[in-house]
Amino acid sequence: MKSKTKNMIFYSIYAILNLIFIFQLLKLGSLPNLYNFAIILITFIFMALIYYSQFKKTKNFLNKIGKVLMILLSLLLIITNMYIYKFGSTLNIVSGGSSKNETVSVIVKKDSSYQKLADVEDLVFGIEDGNEAIVNEAIESIEDKLKQKITMQDYVDYPTLAKALMNDEIEVIVLNEAFRNFIEDELETFTEDTRVIYEYNKKTVIKKSDVNVTKDTFTVMISGIDVYGSISNNSRSDVNILATVNPKTKEILLLSIPRDYYLPLGCQTGALDKLTHSGIYGVDCTMNTVGNALGLDIDFYARVNFNSLINVVDAVGGVTVDVDSGFNSGTYNFPVGPNYLDGPKALSFVRDRYHQEGGDRGRGRNQMKVVTALIDKMTSPAIITNFTSVLSSLEGSFETNMTSKDITSLVKMQINDMSGWAIEQMQLDGTGGSDYAYALNGYAYVMYPDYATIDAAKAAITNMMK
């Protein structure tokens, strides 16, 4: 093969890699136009220089330098294109969540001989007597699969239902998976001691906001669910922080709402319950519950679990927070003053409530400190260049209904001006007591709202929106 033909093949590969790079860069849309113009201009300058060195009559050493440069740039472009593709695909995974997943399982003991749904068709199915719509739908699905009606026995709540299974009072139960943690609070090895032989899954569309995130003030419900691993299923919302964001003034208001706040649920026909239980019925129920209390429509949600916090704190290189009153939690010590936190230590910090003044109120304050530290890091110039690793750290344990366009618009805005954000923190308060909790079908500790703090929060949010 002639040298000129080889050069043409190598150059064609190099040119194609450049075109892929430009296409992906423009499609992603996360850089300001000036940056895009500069990058594309430099790309074409290098293409022209290398073309000249390979196909015009130049000195031999210039030809060799051009060839080496073409190979090195081709390798760099392969890596860069993979990086941009990973950025885009990860962004699509964590963004655009437009539905909630609900799962109902048919469960037997682990050592049971029953392997599939047909094996239990003649048995009595244990159910919780709350008559949840999703469970009723699952029962209809079970009966459709079996082509027959099933016999059911009601139990007062899920822990009682689970105990009946483990004590061999009944051989098969129907469980709304959102309530599994209620069972594990009393039976720690329930998951290890049981098997799922059938699942009914349902997806429900969640409303999307059409707010312009770079021009309009918007709200984000940060809901931290109390599980590790997959974030796909509903679970209790143990972290409840409403972020109000004004992109024009670069202000963020973080409002912490205690998990035990006693409010009418934004679902279940407004039954009274603790805010944490709203997450059992989906993040949309949490959004509606908080929105109703504050008199506003919440635009977006960001749903995270324990893995999210560990991964993202480690991805940004850790955070530093000020501890007001020193304490020990688990294997970690938190002395008074600045504390550097890696992922696991940050999780221990935000989960502790037994050593905090005000209990859950103190935990809420610590949660806002970590969120504030993360926002500071993620809007700094250093983290913008490492945004893909941060997104990757959230994959599988973070979900938001903000679109990828919303997120890239915010990234573009931040790169364009690199200005800092002013972050204010507020907290709703109340008094403790005992009252009926709808999800538990019984009494539990609750926090009755202090409406003076709710009114103050409403005023602060209104001021942000003005």
pLDDT, one tens digit per residue, over 146-194 is 999 999 999 999 999 999 999 999 999 999 999 998 999 899 999 999 9
C-alpha closest to that of 240 among 53, 69, 368? 368
Q: Is 241:254 a contact under the CB 8 Å cutoff?
A: yes
Q: Residue 240: what residue type?
A: N
Model pLDDT for residues 441-461, shown as the tens digit of each residue: 899 999 999 999 999 999 999
Is the model's pLDDT at 216 over the cut of 90? yes
**Quick one: average pLDDT of 344-363?**
89
Q: Mean per-residue pLDDT for 92-116?
A: 87
H helices of 97-246, in order, are 133-146, 158-166, 180-184
Q: What is the mean pLDDT of residues 220-243?
A: 82
Residues 121-131 have a mean pLDDT of 90
The most confident of the ranges 22-26, 44-48, 107-111 is 107-111
3-state secondary structure (DSSP) of residue 47: helix
pLDDT digits (tens, 9 = 90+) for 32-44: 888 899 999 999 9
Specify the residue for token string 């009072």.
169
Higher model confidence: residue 179 or residue 95? 179
The pLDDT of residue 31 is above 70: yes
Q: Do the beta carbons of residue 217 and residue 296 sit within 8 Å? A: no
* Residues 343 and 314 sit within 8 Å (Cβ to Cβ): yes
Interhelix angle 60-94/33-55, rounded to 10 degrees, is 150
Buried b or exposed e, range 74-89, using 16+ CB within 10 angstroms = beebeebbeebeebbe
Residue 299 pLDDT level (bands cut at 50, 70, 90): very high
Q: Looking at 9-23, 213-227, 304-318, which range is the least confident one?
A: 304-318
Q: What share of the chain has pLDDT > 70, as a percent?
A: 94
State the pLDDT at residue 230: 59
- Find where tokens 């105990």 sit: 163
Residue 388: Cβ within 10 Å count? 16
Give mean pLDDT, residues 82-102. Answer: 79
**388 has pLDDT over 70:** no
Residue 320 pairs with which residues in a beta bridge?
340
In DSSP terms, 446 is beta-bridged to 433
Dihedral class, residue 295 (left if φ above 0, else alpha if ψ from -120 to 50, else beta): left
Question: Regarding beta strands 262-264 and 251-256, do their DSSP bridges make them parallel or antiparallel, or are they unpaired?
Answer: unpaired
pTM for the full predicted model: 0.84
Distance in angstroms (rounded) separating the CA atoms of residues 174 and 389 = 40
Per-residue confidence (pLDDT) for residue 384, from 0 to 100? 59
Confidence of residue 129 (pLDDT cuts 50, 70, 90): confident
Q: Predicted confidence band at 132 (pLDDT cuts at 50, 70, 90)?
A: confident
The whole-angstrom separation of Cα 45 and Cα 267 is 59
61 or 160: whose pLDDT is higher? 160
Q: Which of 140-144, 172-176, 193-197, 349-353 is predicted with the least confidence, judged by mean pLDDT?
A: 349-353
Q: Which amino acid is at 263?
A: L
Coil, strand or helix at 106: strand
Percent of the chain with pLDDT over 90: 59
> Distances from the Cα of 412 to the Cαs of 160, 374, 392, in angstroms?
53, 19, 19
Pick the closest to residue 133 from 60, 202, 79 (CA basis): 202
Q: For the residues 281-310, what does the mean pLDDT come to?
A: 91
> What does the alpha-carbon distance between residue 195 and residue 107 come to, in Å, rounded to a whole number?
6
Q: Phi, psi at residue 429, to the nearest 5°?
A: -130, 175
User: 135 or 411: whose pLDDT is higher?
Assistant: 135
By CB neighbour count within 10 A (0-12 exposed, 13-18 middle, 19+ buried), where does 466 fall?
A: exposed
Among candidate residues 94, 92, 88, the one with its CA nearest the CA of residue 303: 94
pLDDT digits (tens, 9 = 90+) for 331-341: 999 999 999 99
Check residue 32 and give its pLDDT: 84
User: pLDDT grade, residue 1 (50/70/90)?
Assistant: low
pLDDT at 215 over 60: yes
pLDDT for 88 equals 81
Is residue 275 a contact partner of residue 290, using CB atoms and an 8 Å limit? yes
pLDDT at 280 over 60: yes
- In this prediction, residue 295 carries a pLDDT of 96
CA 464 to mean position of chain CA atoms: 25
pLDDT band (50, 70, 90) for residue 386:
low
Contact 236, 226 (CB under 8 A): yes
